[in-house]
Structure 1
């Protein structure tokens, strides 16, 4: 494969590359073909031990959803919108922004290497001061006390207080989004099956709150019986 995940700024950038590579119209994307190639890139990144951002995983789930919608039988009297319409709109908007970025980058670099020195405020000429030895000793002692307050306590002072390294919330967000590749709905209680300690449980809960806050998932149900569904670009459930 002649391209790598780190060469793309995001999932839309990767999709535009695959569309150009296959020489297909952005208005008539062959979802099945593009999805297969998209997943090949993600699998290649995993094989090279590269971290896959949650946005790439979320886009994979979105492509799986569009593909499933297109496989459903459609009646001639149905006037349902093309499931690809939202994706096409996002790609066109991203393409426009990508094309205009060099222009703004060039404008932003104008005058970058020009520095203007502000006028110096000379003020009044300094007065002549005379300090005694005791004044210097007092000043030195003050500096030593201030420096002592800035020195952090030794690691032994935290023994028994700090335990394992906390689990990053971003890691749990990615793990949750991966589940939508295999399932449209994810039970809330199943998110904690692989939690090995309290830190992972807390990180998983915070990940759910973050995804819900950013409207990337929708929570349905009460208590432990809640279920998570992936949302579309309008914040609505894909189910």
Structure 2
């Protein structure tokens, strides 16, 4: 049975991006066949409960200690003190969930974007993006692409257009070293131009289709025919 290729999230898309479609294809195929076997979703839930329900840190910590898989448990336990250090200082006037949405790369590819939450402090709206990857965090042009698109999506939302967008990066400087928390104001990240964004997304779309065809066993001639058809009306849809 052929592996089904899922469309990656916006953050994953930016992380996967490479300068050519063939390299993107290789990463996507590898992820589809040997991808991660766990999710950081429980940590997003913990942050939400800390802010909304004022769940005590020890209660959340005990829940993490009960995770059966040792590698996942140790991974989460290395993040928990950093979560507590930051969010225990936050006293929000309100916390709102943010409606998930889709970003159109092309006619056939819709990238999901699901922010965890936003909250208000001292009359300001804070929009944090939590990145729990330990290694290979977003940086350089990939980070610029991500921030550019997120800003574009935020400006379309009247509840978020004045929000302070910041990235909370929980990575480690060395894969074998301890994690740290790096707070990156989105305002400090250079944006990519509209032309460059269009070019980067077209490359990713081509790589995604190559990976999809590879996993589905589509022949080169069939793939070329499909690509020609898609490219015919791709540009106006960015």
TM-score by length of 1: 0.24
TM-score by length of 2: 0.25
- Normalized per residue, the structure richer in strand is 2
Q: Whose RCO is larger (CA < 8 A, sep 6+)?
A: 2
Structure having the higher Rg: 1
